[in-house]
Amino acid sequence: MSRILNIMPKKAQPWSGRFAQPVDEQVKRFTASVSFDQRLAKHDIAASLAHARMLAARGILPRRDLAAIQRGLATIAKEIAAGKFAWSVDAEDVHLNIEKRLTALVGDAGKRLHTARSRNDQVATDLRLWLRAEIDALAKLMVALQRTLLAQASRHAALLMPGFTHLQVAQPVTFGHHLLAYFEMFERDRERLPQIRKRTNQLPLGAAALAGTSFPIDRERVARELGFEGLCENSLDAVSDRDFAIEFCAAASLIMMHLSRLSEELVLWASPRFGFVRLPDAYCTGSSIMPQKRNPDVPELVRGKAGRVFGSLVALLTLMKAQPLAYNKDNQEDKEPLFDAVDTVKACVAVMSGLLSGLQPVPAAMRAAALEGHATATDLADYLVRKGVAFRDAHEAVARAVREAERRGVDLAALPLAKLKTFSREIGPDVRRVLSAQGSLDSRNHPGGTAPAAVRQAIARARKRLAQ
């Protein structure tokens, strides 16, 4: 679709009869939205066709005019698809651009198309149609991202790595289990999308400017043709509501927040200090001065773009917070934040899916890190509890053992059995199994646990959820 704006010969605006002077050229440029709302053209044409067919079915529009409108809109759709449509700032927006071209093609029939509607309900309808399609596209991208995570989690269900709290080594986990945490985040994100789609998929057309229309229209027919699930019930709300756009940006912000958390971990893991993963070459860049660098630009950009989507959400909330009913020109500012949020979140989900598919863990580095920081200390405390020691007493005994291990410069699991027994007489030779990282993993074999067997079961359940 061409975005070149051609200035057409000056013609009177469809509303200019009220004014004694033409619009100032600066004001014309300032108020025009066609530079960005032309992406609604496909949906504007679809809604106009449904509206025209309804008008003809109700006897409001002559059949010959319907035929002319259908012929003219088909021509316009082809021109737009071929990049040959002459967009004009003089025509303000996508709606008037199409209407002017239609009138040029089919004459007075084009002027009759706007019967029983307003640009207020027209743009609300177009925006909902556009967002509905984008929600569907994003949902598919989310599934692809989740499938990528599941594939990696399945390959590495038993790969030992340290689990962190406060970015300190806490307890052993598996890489597969860690990846499944992100699957769950994205699953919640995916579940929100059809809920938002349902509320988006309500027809505003028929509300006209704000009070409905005196023509005997059939809104249900238009809703059925366009695939809407219901009607916006109140005409004032229908033209002024942008909750659906705000809701989408809120959901997109959550997706971006989750992507940003994952990106942060990838940046850390790929650094030499961690060395847990190797990012695919195709998703890294080099330095213009330091030849050794492999910069994680993709996750860094995803992390940065999260703020961009958050900004779209705040912009829309701020846009709507003080608007009286019904439609106000402020609402022209709803599109660019929404468009940008959609474009950004889709791009980020897609690129992260590609990056993750080529991600390579470094098992030796993960294992070495998991054996630092006394990661099985909690397992030793649990061991003592099972021997009958009160948990607080067990906690104190293990804390003293950790202090001794740190004094010696070794991991807790490396302390001699004789020394361990000095902290609690309940400690016996069977403690070695408890203090091993593998033993720690295997002991957590329950739904939601990090044991390899539990991880594989979780992956199977996750795949079923995606298939539903």
Catalytic residue among 166, 288, 312, 443: 166
* Residues 226/47, Cβ–Cβ less than 8 Å: yes
Backbone CA torsion sign across 446, 447, 451, 456: positive
For 213-265, write each residue's pLDDT tens digit: 999 999 999 999 999 999 999 999 999 999 999 999 999 999 999 999 999 99
Catalytic residue among 16, 271, 287, 446: 287
Residue 48 falls in the annotated catalytic set? no
Per-residue confidence band for 9, with pLDDT thresholds at 50, 70 and 90: very low
Q: Which pLDDT belongs to residue 127?
A: 98
Q: Which pLDDT belongs to residue 468?
A: 87
Q: Which pLDDT belongs to residue 436?
A: 92
Mean pLDDT of the chain: 94
239 burial (CB, 10 Å; 0-12 / 13-18 / 19+) is buried
Cα-trace Rg, the chain: 31
Q: Which pLDDT belongs to residue 158?
A: 97
Q: Which pLDDT belongs to residue 119?
A: 97
Q: What is the mean pLDDT of residues 2-11?
A: 46
Residue 166 falls in the annotated catalytic set? yes
pLDDT of 22 strictly over 90: no
The pTM of the whole model exceeds 0.85:
yes
Closest CA to 378 of 192, 165, 217: 165
